Structure 1
Amino acid sequence: MNQELPPLPSWPERWQATLGWQPDAGQQLQFEQIYAEVLTANQHLNLTRITAPEDFWEKHLWDSLRGIAPLQELGAQRVIDIGTGAGFPGLPVAVAHPDWLVTLLDATQKKIAFLETLLQQVGLANCHTLVGRAEAIGKQKQGAYDLALVRAVGPADRCARYALPLLRPGGLAILYRGQWTAEEADVLQIALQEFDGVLEQIDAFTTPLTQGVRHCIHIKRSS
């Protein structure tokens, strides 16, 4: 780990107060390793503009896990993170849920190669990578997953079209969004009708440090 990096906050009380969960010592170490490796690789891969430790904690780690907070009590899940980029939300989800099997999907080979190395360094045996475009993978792996996570990929209707084919009947997709408008909701409904999806929940919240407005849109594949 790069010793010159400022320390990543641990903030167990803040984790507990906002999510009803906090990392144990091993999970905190994994978060610190992820932070260090992402920032090191960021110098040549342009993975993220979020590099300050407090921002990284809130906008990458906390935000990733807040999206799945309503699902904390679920047992083992087959999860795919579509368009994972630097590994978010999939990496924090894999750390927090060692009983979940998490697939990190991205179309950029360089990012996937970085993530494969990171997984070995961090020791995340329940997480693996997949390179390809979501549309093609959706045809190859129809119905393969219980849960799909889509963050910072594009409009909500496009995210739904990527996610729903990958889900088993009854499977859930979570679309991570900032603001949420009536216009976006109307366009999303068109995609849901095309792919046997239903709107399950709109989870609205604010981030704990900067009070940013966030929404997680839960959609379910009905058949």
Structure 2
Amino acid sequence: MICNLLPDFNEIWQKTLHWEPTKSQLEQWEKLYQEIISANCKINLTRITEPKDFWEKHLWDSLAGIDTKIIDIKSSLKGIDIGTGAGFPGIPVATIYPNLQVTLLDSKIKKIKLINLILDKLKFINCKTLIGRSETIGQIKKYRETYDLALIRAVGTPSVCTEYALPLLKIGGIAVLYRGHWHDKDKLTLKSTVEKLGGKIISIKNVETPLTKSIRTFIYIKKISTTSQKFPRQIGIPNRNPL
């Protein structure tokens, strides 16, 4: 029997996201948490290890970005979590939406190997992993313009994240940029980048985190036309020279 370490916080789920996880989902997250803490002894998957921090910064934060008024996950869709790290936001989202097939993309082989072990052990059947840099993956026919949903968190500036995400999306697909800091003046710069990549900013949502009371921003970008083949640019260029 697993000793529960994570808080349930069902009232907070209801108050903030108007929803709460099932008992089965809570059990799955508890197993996930304990597996990640155990794996952290071998490789630094995440610095966020305290139960309440893990709940807020990994579980709550991951799901706060999924606005079902903007993203329709009723049918079978393909999603990609770019720069997944320890599996966030991709794994919590896959837990809640079994119709969503989530690819967890990261360039760090050791992290992906550990995530594969965790996914197999916990039987996350709608998650799979992919090793590579988004600049390379975005130019491969098998992956380019394949996904309905792209999630990207803590990978780079908004412009860089957009260049990573939009080439991977189908026309009509949605990219969600998870941001910790955002200023209204940033929207003008990002708007220009988004248009170059065939997208359109459809919503920017600011929310307060329930425990630490910090501001999170979620930027929703819709792919409205084909992205030019010159994007994403070669490895390192988007970071060195953002659009």
Q: Same fold (TM over 0.5)?
A: yes
What TM-score comes out, normalization by structure 1 length? 0.94
Structure 1 residue 152: deviation in Å? 0.7
Name stretches of at least 5 consecutive residues in structure 1 with no aligned partner: none
Contact between 1:80 and 1:147, CA under 8 Å: does it hold in 2? yes
- Whether contact under 8 Å (1:2, 1:36) holds in the other structure is no
After TM superposition, list the pairs within 5 Å mapping 1:1-223 onto structure 2. Answer: 7-71=5-69, 74-75=73-74, 76-140=76-140, 141-223=143-225
| Residue identity matched to 2:184 | A
3-state DSSP of counterpart to 1:136 = helix
Distance 1:217 1:154 in 2: 14
Structure-1 separation of matches of 2:132 and 2:220: 24
User: CA distance change for structure 1 residues 204 and 164 in 2, over 3 Å: closer, same or farther?
Assistant: same
Q: CA RMSD in A?
A: 1.6
Distance (Å, rounded) in 2 between the aligned partners of 1:93 and 1:64: 7
Q: Percent identity?
A: 48
Cα shift readout 1:114-160 (whole Å, capped 9, x = no counterpart): 11111111111011001100011111111100000000101010000
Structure 1 Cα separation of the partners of residues 2 and 137 of structure 2: 36
Of 186-195 and 97-106, deviating more is 186-195
What displacement does 1:2 show? 7.7
Report the alpha carbon displacement of residue 183 of structure 1 after superposing the two structures with TM.
4.0
SS at match of 1:139: coil
Please report how far the alpha carbon of residue 69 of structure 1 lies from its aligned counterpart in structure 2 after TM superposition: 3.1
Cα separation, 2, equivalents of 1:185 and 1:73: 25
* Aligned partner of residue 146 in structure 1, secondary structure: strand
Alpha-carbon distance, 1:26 to partner: 1.2
CA distance in 1, matches of 2:16, 2:67: 9
C-alpha distance in structure 2 between counterparts of 1:165 and 1:217, whole Å = 17
Deviation of 1:182 after TM superposition, in Å, equals 3.3
| Distance in structure 2 (CA, Å) of the matches to 1:17 and 1:73 | 22
Q: Distance in 1 between matches of 2:180 and 2:220?
A: 14
Q: d(CA) in 2 for partners of 1:200 and 1:73?
A: 14
**Alpha-carbon distance in 2 for matches of 1:82, 1:67:** 14
Q: What is the letter of the counterpart of residue 35 of structure 1?
A: Y
**SS class of match (2:93):** helix
Give 1:51 deviation, angstroms: 1.0
TM-score (norm 2): 0.87
